[in-house]
Chains A and B, each alone.
Chain A
Amino acid sequence: MIEMYGVSKVYPGQVVALDDINLRIRGGEFVFLVGPSGAGKSTFVRLVYGEERPTRGLVLVDGRNVGRLRPREIPYLRRRLGVVFQDFKLLNDRTVFENVAFALRVTGASGREIRRRVPAVLSLVGLEDRARARPLELSGGEQQRVSLARAIVTGPSAVLADEPTGNLDPDTSWDIVNLLLRINRAGTTVVMATHAKAIVDRLRMRVVAIENGRIIRDEPRGSYS
C-alpha cells in the first residue's frame, strides 16, 4: 500500500529531514510512527500524500510513484488518502456538515450522495447531533472527530494521521484512537504519527520509530521506546 525505498528528504539549507528510509506498509495495517518532534514524522506523511517530493528514492502509494506524479495527478492521489492533522484544519465559517461534505464536493459527488454519506460518517464518529454546529462551538476532541469524518467520507484506502491527539487530553485522545482502530478494522490502512507514549504502549501495534530522519526500530508488536 505505502512503500518507501531509499527515501531521503533534504530541505533547503541542507536540513536533512529523512535519510535513507526503507519501509513497506501493507493494505489494512495499523502503524504507529513514533519519535521526538522534528524526527521526520511529518515529512514522512507529507511525502505520502504528495505535498513534498523526495530528494532521493522512491515513494509508492498503491504501486504508483508519488515523486513522479504530475501536479494535476496529485489531487487524485489525495482522494484515495484521508489526512488528519494536529490542528484539525477545519473551516470555521462552515457547519460540521459542510466541512465533511467539502471532501465529497471536491470529487464532484451529487447532492443526493452527499446527503446520504455525510450523516452516515457523522454518526460513525458520534457527531450526528452536531451537524449544524460550527467548529468553534465544539470541543477539541469533537473538532478532531469532524476532521476524521472528513478524512474517511470519501472511503479512502488509507488514513494518514499526523499527531491527531497532539492537542487533546488523554481521554479524548483515546476516543480518537478508538475511532482510528474501528476505521482500520473496516479494512482501511492507518498510519498514525504520534508521541503519545501511553497509547502506543497499550495497543501493541506495529511501531516504526524514527530519529534524526532514520528508522531506528520497526517492530510488529512494538512499544514507544
Chain B
Amino acid sequence: MTIRHALLALLSEGPRYGLQLRQEFEARTGEVWPLNVGQVYTTLQRLERDGLVESDGGDDDGPQKGFKITDEGRAELAAWLRTPPDLSSPPRDELVIKVLVAVELPGVDVHEVVQTHRRYLVQLMQEWTRLKEYAADRDLGFGLAVDAELFRLDAVVRWLDAADGRIKRASLEDRDLPRAPLPKTPRKVVLRP
C-alpha cells in the first residue's frame, strides 16, 4: 500500500492533524507497518502540491498543522481503490533461485535445503498464528493483515512441497530410465529483476 493513498483514505473520513494521521495509520494496519514522522510530512507536502489535500494554511509544518481532502483527492482515492496492482510479472524470488541452484549443484541434498526453508516458514507462520489467536478478533484491520501474511507464507510452503515432490519424482525417473541421450533443452530460467 502506498502511504499516499493511505493518508488520502484517512483524510476522506474528515480533517486530521499530521501526527494524528500517523497514529491512525499504524492503528488501522495493526502496527504491522510502522511509519516514521518524516514519511508522513513529506507525503502530505506532495499531496498538497498535487492539489489532492489542503492544509489549514498555518506556516508551521509541525504536528499541529491540519489537513483535509479535496474533491480531486477523493477522485484519486476512488480510482486507486479500483486499480488492480501489477501482479502480471513474477517477482524476483530469492527462494526460487536458491532451490533452482541447489538442484543443479553436485553434492547438495536439495530436500534438506527445501526442508530448511520449510521449517523457517512454518515457524514464522506459528508466530503470526499466535498473534492472530490473541488479537485478530479484537481488530478487523489487524486480522486482515495477519491473514494476508499467513496466506502468502502458506503459498510459499505449498510451492516448496510441490517442488520437493517434483524433484523426488524426477530423480526416480532418472534412476529408472535407461540413459538415452536427451534432447538438449534450454535450461535458462529468466527471472525478471
Q: Do A and B bind each other?
A: no
B interface, CB within 8 angstroms of A:
none
